[in-house]
Amino acid sequence: MARRIFSAFLVVWATLGAAACADEPGELIQTSFDSAAAWRPASLLEASAAGPASFTSLIPADRESTLMQVAMTPETTDGTWVLVAPYVWAPAEKGKIGARGLTASVDLSLADLIDLIPDLNGAFMGHVEVGKGQYGLIFDGMLMQVEPSGRLPGGGSAKFLTGSTILETLGMLRVLDVPEQGSSGSLVTVDLLAGARYYQTQNELTLRPAIGPVLRADLTKDWMDLVFGARTEFALTSELFGFLRADIAGFGIGTSSDFTWNLTTGAEYKCASHPGTSLVLGYRVFSIDESQGSGNDRFVYDVLLHGPFSAVAFRF
């Protein structure tokens, strides 16, 4: 099943490539993606919004390629640049979550994730970068809401609503730019990243038994992490680039995560027929270890998220 899901990502990427890199400008389409990243809830604790995701891309105005979260970086450090990249990330998830003194294990495969798509209320994943010269700002947002429902033993119904918001703002500084001989582009680039990442998880459970009163419970938690990281991009061919991004965050400051790490790698294909348009395909691994409070006020979110992503990036 996992192989079939990954193959589907390849098909989506190829389809977007045919559209975004079409010979006729009128055939260029901008695509946004909806994706649910939550586990199949068996209880209030087993359904929480799927973890963060963030693509950071960076590209200058004079470059004929774009980059994605950890990837593509400007070939030069002159001029101003803007990058807009809708994306989709489908992570499997494993770990434990807890609230109000109770803890439950989470083990969501990619196949389980596909089963939750009909329960998706809405989703948005987007990435924007702006900058001038060797300096830049990165903005990334991922918002999702899933509302599965079912029947209670003996009659009645149960409805669960789980939502997740992850917002990221980073500053970027180019510290290495190795030019490619005979080209205005770069052979290897390295950027330093620093900023903040905000998380919010929301869960609401409504039970309507056949006999008796309606029962409702809800829990919302949020926190913010300091983030430090780096990314690099390297040319494989004139149109194909590899990239890698790594960052760490949290450090147990206040209510921030005890420790969080993020690793993203993949490739970007530059559309020669449409300068400034790129296709990105990769894989992301994201670990979050957050805990707050004690006793009945204890909240735990200790999960590992990992899965493929794809995007179309547009530079202006």
CATH number reported for the structural domain that contains residue 152 in this entry? 2.40.128
Taking only the tens place, the pLDDT of each residue in 46-92 is 333 334 333 333 333 333 333 333 344 444 456 898 999 999 998 88
Alpha-carbon distances of 143 from 33, 54, 185, 281, rounded to whole Å = 12, 11, 35, 21
Residues (pLDDT < 50) of the chain are 1-6, 8-14, 24-76
- Domain extent at residue 56: 2-315
Amino acid in position 141? G
pLDDT at 291: 87
pLDDT at 211: 82
pLDDT at 54: 34
DSSP 106-160: EEE-HHHHHHTGGGEEEEEEEEEEEEETTEEEEEEEEEEEE--EEEPTTSEEEEE
Element holding 96 (H helix, E strand): strand 92-99
- Please count the other Cβ atoms lying within 10 Å of the Cβ belonging to residue 214: 9
Residues with Cβ < 8 Å from 48, sequence gap 6 or more? 38, 39, 97, 106, 162, 164, 201, 203, 301
Taking only the tens place, the pLDDT of each residue in 22-42 is 554 333 333 333 333 333 333
- Considering the entire predicted model, what is its pTM? 0.72
| Total count of domains within the chain | 1
pLDDT at 46: 35
Alpha-carbon distances of 133 from 61, 81, 178, 202, rounded to whole Å = 10, 9, 15, 40
The beta-carbon contacts of 132-137 under 8 Å, at least 24 apart in sequence, are 132/79, 132/80, 132/81, 133/77, 133/78, 133/79, 134/77, 134/173, 134/174, 134/177, 135/171, 135/172, 135/173, 135/174, 136/58, 136/81, 136/171, 136/172, 137/169, 137/170, 137/171, 137/172
